[in-house]
Structure 1
């Protein structure tokens, strides 16, 4: 059914006469009558019936008019939601790795709450492979992902990517262990992403060793627990405040950098809430110096 005809029925339920509907909508009474007759034919039910010199809604007409209020409101909400010139509003599904959520997304959320309360972020923590799969099924609108300079990722053409920031990482070892001794230790790597494993193998090979990948875990806090327990070495952010019993050694020749990105499906970035959040990510303090 056409929403313009449904709107006439809703107006008839509200105003009570075809003449009043015609005046409200800037139409002739005969046009209103004809359009309601077409609507009745479309739905296969009588919608109005004579009531003296006027008309009234039939039970089917009243039920359809009640549905019409909801339908027309949903159509208007969809129009506003997709209007590139409208004020951004709606729920934005975002997934990303924990560091990017803390460093990039939470400051953006604070600005949204202050300046754009109509936009709400729904945040999920996921590693890059999981995030890309969720983008592909449209279960997420935006993904914050990462790679390393020693394990670069080439993004397929179905994605739009923009760099957010980069940060130095070092090799975390039990306190007092010199760097030459670290290459022969067991390694602790991520259990849901192979990027740091690739970096570990590259670093060890460049220093004449084959990395023994023994432990896998997601949490940087758990990585620290394992290192303190003497179970191995692993990569940690150079600026991270680590617990006692750990040294984070600088790496050079080559350095190790993690690089964060904002990823969207190609052609989706014009949606006002998504465009707003991407702009805020670009202008956030976390993006400076990238």
Structure 2
């Protein structure tokens, strides 16, 4: 089987549209259709069937798409990892959110520079959805992402995920305020993340359990700016506990239920055998233990 045609089938199983597959892979819808038809002839069974104006995978097509994950990962590993025991060398591209870069990646970079001088780590600051998109397009090799126990992420079948750590989150309020039932904040203005929806999902879940719908007024990415808005009396929001917040901000514990953010290192399946990537993943895992 031609691995390029397997890639078409795998992307069709993920995206559900030949037009979207063509856009994702930079080709034409006709080329996608012809490639999957040729693959069906190679395996001797139909792989797609009509579904209104679209198509869907047949049971055989679904099974082959499942196999394609491992097959393509093995091919990628062979291309990228001719000698896994070799000295790590080359450029490793990492996309991650700011807190994970500061807390997990930066502490290991100095040691890596000394022990593996031919390894260069390049950092791109991105929220999880942006990082996943870059990873899917092979624009980065490693994504540092997060989710919450109350809003868990959905992982793709071709993702390899390593938990790096957890952080308890609380409620950021002006320092003069004391802890109160969550329902008592129903009439307040709220601040959520402008580039990721996970903390808004957690907030809406907590508010729903307390019997109200939060009035979201500000959408802010930088935690420092969230601090500023809280001090200025412009709103309140969820913040990590244990972080050095700006003077004038108090982060109250959330216990009913507690809120935990989980940080992950995510790579495409099979890529972690590439020596530079394996080295950085091992360093991150050691730093988190």
- One fold, TM greater than 0.5? yes
**2:118 corresponding residue in structure 1:** 118
| Aligned-residue RMSD, C-alpha | 1.7
Give me the whole-angstrom Cα distance separating, in 1, the residues matched to 2:215 and 2:104: 33
Aligned with residue 264 of structure 2, among 252, 261, 265: 261
**2:35 corresponding residue in structure 1:** none
Give me the whole-angstrom Cα distance separating, in 2, the residues matched to 1:127 and 1:80: 27
**1:27 corresponding residue in structure 2:** none
Runs of 4+ in 1 over 3 A off after TM superposition: 79-82
Matched, 1:109 2:112: no
Give me the whole-angstrom Cα distance separating, in 2, the residues matched to 1:228 and 1:205: 26
- Asked if structure 2 preserves the Cα contact closer than 8 Å seen for 1:173 and 1:247, the reply is yes
Give me the whole-angstrom Cα distance separating, in 1, the residues matched to 2:256 and 2:204: 15
TM-score scaled by length of structure 1: 0.69
**Structure 1 position 261, deviation (Å):** 0.3
Give me the whole-angstrom Cα distance separating, in 2, the residues matched to 1:82 and 1:237: 42
Question: Any gaps of 5 or more consecutive residues in structure 1?
Answer: 1-78
* Distance change >3 Å, CA 194–CA 80, structure 1 → 2: closer
TM-score scaled by length of structure 2: 0.70
- Asked if structure 1 preserves the Cα contact closer than 8 Å seen for 2:95 and 2:143, the reply is yes
**Structure 1 position 80, deviation (Å):** 9.8
Question: Any gaps of 5 or more consecutive residues in structure 2?
Answer: 1-78
Give me the whole-angstrom Cα distance separating, in 2, the residues matched to 1:279 and 1:242: 31
* Rg larger in structure: 1
Give me the whole-angstrom Cα distance separating, in 2, the residues matched to 1:149 and 1:183: 23
* Distance change >3 Å, CA 80–CA 239, structure 1 → 2: closer
**2:254 corresponding residue in structure 1:** 251
Give me the whole-angstrom Cα distance separating, in 1, the residues matched to 2:232 and 2:94: 35
For residues 236-278 of structure 1, the C-alpha deviation after alignment (integer angstroms, 9 at most, x for no partner) is: 1110112222111011021011000000011111100001111
**1:155 corresponding residue in structure 2:** 155
For residues 1-23 of structure 1, the C-alpha deviation after alignment (integer angstroms, 9 at most, x for no partner) is: xxxxxxxxxxxxxxxxxxxxxxx
- Counterpart of 1:155 in 2: which secondary structure? coil
